[in-house]
Amino acid sequence: MGRVAVIIDQEYDVFGDRWDVREYRDTRYGFPVALGWPHGQPRGAGGIGAPRVILTRPLARFLEEHRQKPGKLRDLPFSRTTLKRLRKLLGHHWYRDRAQWWEERIEDLSTLTLEEFARKHGVSPGAAEDARLKLCGRKLRPAYWWREPDVSQIILTAPTAVAAERLDISPGSVRRLRWLLKSGDVGSGG
């Protein structure tokens, strides 16, 4: 005859189902993780199987709070496979969640500078630039925009790095436009 699991408590999961608790594992987040079986189900081989993590309200709330950064959940006292199963039960999907996050901020993404967006939303300017290209496409400027008096003044007088930052173009583009302005060439530069 096999071992008989000792039931130490009962818990309800976030869906309202009752579970028999076999074990609690402490976390550093102020709530324990409960392991057990659905109440009234046969256990072990031929039954419901080994005990599993119970998706309690505190655990579900914690997973929801860290929905955008599941990598921060690695120190919970269960496996990555279990973490994936629990996130799936809650409807979390990292790629869809990230896409929705960016889409909710598309107004800021299209109007703020990359640096302003990055500061405001806690992402890197590179990530903001990638998302802007994917969601908004390339910003096209009017033909010969660089010949406007105020713009050409910046290109011709400001240091290359300053002009690049103020005009939101690369230093190489500043040098190329500076050469075009000095040579009087009206070629395609932009």
Q: Mind listing the pLDDT tens digit for each residue in 39-84?
A: 988 887 788 888 999 999 999 999 999 988 888 788 999 999 999 9
Alpha-carbon distance of 179 to 99, in angstroms, equals: 41
User: What confidence score (pLDDT) does residue 42 get?
Assistant: 86
Please tell me whether residue 44 adopts helix, strand or coil conformation.
strand
Q: Where are the extended beta strands (E) located within 7-151?
A: 9-12, 18-25, 33-38, 52-53
Q: Give tens-digit pLDDT for 76-93.
A: 999 999 999 999 999 998
